């Protein structure tokens, strides 16, 4: 299958940890010029070095706070100046802590909304003018099966991911006339395979989320998936790379679950 991604300029937000890291390296192997927009700049630089070793003609890390419009604008302007434009944006940043809705603090709710929804809004808006001017572009956003069906102990996170799905569909209708496509990939639970794959700021570094990473808990979680295992970061990358590529050139406004059959819709 001809993906025609070589030489394309790709931004991956949160590209230093877990799924984002795997996505950054997958685009690197396709010969893309990769920008890792990462709040943890040191982790981003580490992955940028890995990306160059795996085939990226250029890979840079740019410290980016996706919740701050000015930070996102500066990152995108830098990419446009460095690489001439943005061909692909992957809205990957995501964050939640596993708690019941009534047990969460308002600060946690607000952080979830800022990172999971406002981050996607900010980054998408920042790349659209350039994509419209060039009459081309692909935006792939990470949703979640939580956003498709609701999920226990992930109420606000699920609401944000449902918003990512709905906004992607709405914008696909608005900007399709300019050759811009928007699609969503919804992973199920996807855990890093080691601490080397995540930043200290990753949600998977939080104590409340580490309880899910024991062999015993992974075995229990796997039972709810028809494929009987928990996803690894590399399981998600194929769908993202495909939807960003020319091979998916007539696909827009779609939501694809990559979750081992957790949802089937």
Write the secondary structure of 212-261 as one string of H (helix), E (strand) and C (coil).
HHCHHHHHHHHCCCCCCCCECCHHHHHHHHHHHCHHHCCCCCCEEEECCC
Q: What is the reported pLDDT for 50?
A: 98
Tokens of 121: 């809004």
pLDDT band at 197 (very low <50, low <70, confident <90, very high): confident
Tens-digit pLDDT profile for residues 88-131: 999 999 999 889 999 999 999 999 999 999 999 999 999 999 99
- For residue 209, count other CB atoms closer than 10 A to its CB: 16
Marked catalytic residue, from 157, 178, 225, 262: 157
Domain 9-258 falls under CATH 3.30.565.10: no
pLDDT band at 162 (very low <50, low <70, confident <90, very high): very high
The three-class DSSP label of residue 188 is: coil
Residues 24 and 49: beta-carbon distance below 8 Å = no
Q: List all residues 6 or more positions away from 177 whose beta carbon is below 8 Å from its beta carbon.
A: none
Tens-digit pLDDT profile for residues 58-84: 999 999 999 999 999 999 999 999 999
* Domain boundaries defined on the chain: 9-258
CA distance 35 to 52: 11
Q: What is the reported pLDDT for 209?
A: 72
Q: Is the pLDDT of residue 198 over 80?
A: no
Mean pLDDT of the chain: 94
Q: Is the pLDDT of residue 196 over 90?
A: no
Return the percentage of the chain with pLDDT > 70, whole number: 100
pLDDT band at 262 (very low <50, low <70, confident <90, very high): very high
Tokens of 246: 């020319």
Q: Is the pLDDT of residue 200 over 90?
A: no
Q: Is the pLDDT of residue 217 over 90?
A: no
Q: Is the pLDDT of residue 208 over 80?
A: no
Tell me the CB-side half-sphere exposure of residue 99, using CA atoms within 13 A: 16
pTM: 0.95
Q: Is 157 a catalytic residue?
A: yes
């Amino acid at each position: 299958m001809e993906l025609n991604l070589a030489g394309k300029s790709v931004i991956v937000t949160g590209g230093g940890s877990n799924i984002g890291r795997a996505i950054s390296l997958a685009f690197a192997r396709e010969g893309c010029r990769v920008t890792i927009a990462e709040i943890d700049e040191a982790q981003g630089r580490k992955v940028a070095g890995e990306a160059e070793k795996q085939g990226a003609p250029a890979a840079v890390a740019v410290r980016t706070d996706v919740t701050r419009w000015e930070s996102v604008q500066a990152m995108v302007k830098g990419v446009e100046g460095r690489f001439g434009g943005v061909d692909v944006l992957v809205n990957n940043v995501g964050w939640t802590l596993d708690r019941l809705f009534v047990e969460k603090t308002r600060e946690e709710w607000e952080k979830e909304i800022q990172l999971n929804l406002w981050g996607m809004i900010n980054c998408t808006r920042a790349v659209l003018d350039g994509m419209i001017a060039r009459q081309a572009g692909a935006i792939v956003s990470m949703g979640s099966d939580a956003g498709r069906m609701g999920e226990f102990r992930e109420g606000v996170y699920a609401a944000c991911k449902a918003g990512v799905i709905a906004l992607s569909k709405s914008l696909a209708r608005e900007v399709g006339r300019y050759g811009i496509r928007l699609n969503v990939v919804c992973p199920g639970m996807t855990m890093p395979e080691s601490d080397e794959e995540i930043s200290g700021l990753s949600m998977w570094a939080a104590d409340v989320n580490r309880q899910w990473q024991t062999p015993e808990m992974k075995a229990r979680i796997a039972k709810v998936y028809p494929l009987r295992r928990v996803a690894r970061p590399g399981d998600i990358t194929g769908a993202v790379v495909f939807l960003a590529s020319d091979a998916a050139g007539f696909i827009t406004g779609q939501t694809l679950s990559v979750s081992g059959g957790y949802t089937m819709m």
